[in-house]
Amino acid sequence: MKLQILPNRFKKIGLIMFIVFSALASKDDIVSGWNDGSNRAIPETAKLDSLVHVSNSTATQHYLSVISIIGIIIYLMSKEKIEDDYINKLRLESYQITALISLFAALLLFVLSSHLKFYLDDFITMFLFIYLITFFIKKRIDL
């Protein structure tokens, strides 16, 4: 079974989506961090409003991160300019290496510290970046 891959022009669309929404998500994180630091002198009655604002900010940041991840998935699912069986083999090998590296990294983080808290989008983003890097390196080395 062969996975249907998007046309090459979707590489640009996915990359633009990733860059724009990643920047917006990190900007929202910086702004919420500034708000958290400035809320220390606010009376207790106003803190409830700031908590609601932070939760809205966190939800917005979450959705921006999801759209960013969708952008990088679109980039990964797009065809290369020359798509052949060799590129499919490189994709498979890169996926296998990425799965092993991600599993070992997650296990290592779990063993080193039980106090670390990671969200699922951290692991998804790590997985996608490792896949991109391994595919790029394998494509450059093997060509």
pLDDT digits (tens, 9 = 90+) for 72-119: 999 988 888 888 888 889 989 999 999 999 999 888 888 888 787 777
Residue 88 has what pLDDT? 87
Q: What is the pLDDT of residues 27-54, one digit of tens each?
A: 755 555 544 554 444 444 444 444 444 4
Residue with tokens 């409830």: 48
Task: Give me 138's structure tokens.
Answer: 């394998």
The mean per-residue pLDDT over the stretch 12-33 comes to: 79
What is the tally of structural domains in the chain?
2
The pLDDT-based confidence of 4 (bands split at 50, 70, 90) is: low
Q: Are 114 and 69 within one domain?
A: no
SS3 letters across 8-65: CCHHHHHHHHHHHHHHHHHHHHHHHHHHHHHHHHCCHHHHHHHHHHHHHHHHHHHHHH
Q: Are 96 and 75 within one domain?
A: no
Residue 30 has what pLDDT? 52
Q: Are 88 and 108 within one domain?
A: yes
Q: Please tell me the distance from the alpha carbon of residue 123 to that of residue 57, in angstroms, as a whole number.
A: 21
pTM comes to 0.69
Q: Are 69 and 35 within one domain?
A: yes
Task: Give me 82's structure tokens.
Answer: 């020359």
Residue type for 68, please?
A: S
Residue type for 97, please?
A: I
Q: Are 15 and 75 within one domain?
A: yes
Torsions phi, psi for 73 (to 5 deg)? -70, -40
61, 79, 97 — which closes off a domain? 79
Q: Are 53 and 108 within one domain?
A: no
Residue 13 has what pLDDT? 94
The pLDDT-based confidence of 3 (bands split at 50, 70, 90) is: low
Query: DSSP state, 1?
Result: -
Tell me the residue range of the domain where 67 lies.
1-79
Residue type for 34, please?
A: W
Q: Are 51 and 85 within one domain?
A: no
